[in-house]
């Protein structure tokens, strides 16, 4: 209407160019949290035995990196984790393939996941110790057990969401059985498979560290769980925090690796909107 004043909208606050980078923002947030940690420890005068300062944790981290105790423990844990996850992924994919190609396989996967998926991997560690003794095989077994089910469930769901038209066209061309799974269903279900691998990695990572905390040394060298438990036994709280920081950094690195995998596959192929 005539005579009305134009409505002025507030302009959004300009963001400096440096802060437009998400990695810069996250780094600043991390630095801010560390500063708050230091301020809290200094102001509240918390006992170092209960809650060490970032400086003490950094000193312990640098010292154990220099004497190779953390690298050796990390390598041991990653070795158990990678072997167990690969075994779990292979078995999970086989179960999902059997499920999509056979009604019996579908019933079998449904029963197995209903019975075993709610059961934590650490819960079967005593049985693994009885079956395999105090050997790395026991830890690898529980990691494989923890990773089978998320991969099998996610992959099976991915197979069942593939377009029926695509499946019919593939069968018309003579594809069936494992060849249908490998050539058609598996590429189409890749987003679900990567999602299952993410969950399996998280389950396996928690399981291997918890198993090492309970299990102790498997062979001549213990992993990160054993490193943390030993530091706790000798009341070396900064070393406990150092072990937790290494676990967190590895988690960030693996998350970035999965993000890169998604970018190079499902996002590039147009199967997922780029985030």
pLDDT tens for the 275 residues of the chain, in order: 455 555 555 555 545 556 676 677 777 888 888 888 888 887 777 787 788 888 888 999 999 899 888 898 889 888 989 999 999 999 998 998 888 888 888 889 889 888 888 888 888 888 888 888 878 888 899 999 999 999 998 888 888 887 777 777 777 777 776 777 777 777 777 788 888 888 888 888 888 888 888 766 554 467 888 888 888 888 888 899 998 989 888 888 888 888 887 777 666 665 555 55
Residues 6+ apart with CB under 8 A from 273: 267
Give the pLDDT score at 194.
83
pLDDT at 188: 76
DSSP states of 77-123 as a string? HHHHHHHHHHHHHHHHHHHHHHHHH-HHHHHHHHHHHHHHTTS-GGG
Half-sphere exposure (Cβ direction) of 253: Cα atoms closer than 13 Å: 7
Alpha carbon separation from 198 to 85, 226, 257 (Å, rounded): 11, 24, 10
| Whole-number Å distance between alpha carbons of 248 and 232 | 18
Task: Specify burial of residue 153 (Cβ count, 10 A radius: 0-12, 13-18, 19+).
Answer: buried
Ramachandran angles phi, psi of 7, nearest 5°: -80, 125
- Residue 174 gets the label, from left (phi > 0), alpha (psi -120 to 50) or beta, of left
Which tens digit of pLDDT belongs to each residue from 50-86?
Answer: 888 888 889 999 998 998 888 988 898 889 899 999 9
Structural domain spans, the chain: 70-267
Give this prediction's pTM.
0.77
pLDDT value of residue 248: 86
Q: Is the domain covering 70-267 a CATH 2.60.120.10 domain?
A: no
């Amino acid at each position: 209407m005539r005579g009305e004043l134009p409505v002025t909208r507030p302009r959004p606050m300009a963001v400096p160019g440096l802060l437009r980078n998400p990695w810069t923002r996250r780094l600043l947030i991390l630095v801010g949290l560390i500063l708050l940690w230091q301020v809290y420890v200094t102001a509240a005068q918390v006992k170092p035995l209960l809650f060490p300062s970032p400086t003490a944790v950094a000193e312990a981290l640098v010292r154990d990196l220099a004497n190779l105790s953390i690298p050796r423990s990390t390598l041991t844990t990653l070795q158990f984790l990678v072997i167990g996850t690969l075994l779990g992924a292979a078995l999970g994919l086989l179960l999902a393939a059997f499920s999509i190609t056979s009604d019996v396989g579908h019933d079998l996967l449904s029963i197995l996941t209903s019975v075993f998926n709610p059961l934590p991997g650490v819960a079967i560690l005593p049985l693994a110790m009885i079956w395999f003794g105090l050997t790395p095989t026991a830890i690898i077994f529980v990691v494989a057990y923890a990773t089978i089910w998320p991969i099998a469930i996610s992959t099976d769901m991915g197979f069942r969401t593939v377009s029926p038209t695509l499946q019919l066209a593939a069968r018309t061309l003579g594809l069936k059985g494992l060849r249908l799974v490998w050539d058609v269903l598996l590429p189409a279900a890749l987003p679900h498979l990567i999602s299952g691998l993410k969950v399996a990695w998280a389950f396996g990572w928690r399981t291997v560290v918890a198993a090492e905390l309970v299990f102790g040394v498997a062979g001549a060298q213990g992993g990160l769980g054993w490193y943390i438990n030993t530091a706790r036994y000798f009341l070396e709280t900064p070393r406990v925090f150092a072990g937790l920081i290494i676990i967190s950094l590895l988690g960030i690195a693996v998350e970035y690796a999965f993000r890169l995998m998604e970018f190079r596959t499902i996002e590039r192929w147009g199967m997922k909107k780029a985030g």
